[in-house]
Amino acid sequence: MRVGATFILGLPTETREERLANYWLARELRIDFARFNNASTYPGTKLYEIAKEENGLNVGDHWENLNPISALVESSAPLPYVPTTCTEEELKKDIVRANYRFWLRPKGIYLLLFEGNPSWFSLPPGWYRNPVEWYHVFILSVRIAFNTLKQLFQYGYRLAFAPAKR
């Protein structure tokens, strides 16, 4: 049995140390699949009201950036909400770093390639026996590497987190 978790970063009053503690918690608990997403301000929720009170609601004209993974897929799009305890750039950096650090571990790469994650990524059983599949995995790897380098240049070279103070 594999264990997965989703962590929401960028909640009101959250500090950088708390965001980093989420990453270290996922590592400490030996979670197999983890995602670190930004908080989304859905209408009718308490977070939506808090964001409006803080003047931090930023959902665009047609709610186009109301996406819990916008820090990962839309590096130029503004986040729908940024708490007053950090800047948008700091929050995006922490989200990107947490995801890259978690998935670029040998265990993370192995799990993606050979066991997959049925909720968002999977390869056909026995894919590694088919040369065509290796070609597609190679192309996907190049794209991921390119996007990783792009984000490294955008957010800075350090992907490492110092362990959270206990």
pLDDT in tens, 111-166: 777 776 655 566 777 878 888 888 887 887 787 777 777 766 766 555 455 554 54
134 CB contacts (<8 Å, ≥6 apart)? 128
Banded pLDDT at 85 (limits 50, 70, 90): very high
Side chain identity at residue 31, one-letter code? I
For the cut 70, the answer to whether the pLDDT of residue 75 exceeds it is no
Nearest CA among 42, 39, 41, 35 for reference residue 5: 35
Taking all residues of the chain, what is their mean pLDDT, rounded to a whole number? 81
For the record, the structure tokens of 93 come out as: 């950096």
For the record, the structure tokens of 141 come out as: 């790897």
Report helix, strand and coil shares of the chain as percent, to nearest 5: 50, 10, 45
pLDDT top residue among 150 and 29: 29
pLDDT top residue among 112 and 81: 81
**Can you say how many angstroms the Cα of residue 162 is from the centroid of all Cα atoms in its chain?**
18
Question: CB count, 10 Å around CB of 48?
Answer: 17
pTM, rounded to two decimals: 0.72
For the cut 60, the answer to whether the pLDDT of residue 27 exceeds it is yes
Which backbone phi and psi does 38 adopt, to 5 degrees? -85, 150
**Can you say how many angstroms the Cα of residue 8 is from the centroid of all Cα atoms in its chain?**
9
Nearest CA among 84, 48, 46 for reference residue 63: 48
d(CA 162, CA 160) in angstroms, rounded, equals 7
Which backbone phi and psi does 8 adopt, to 5 degrees? -100, 120
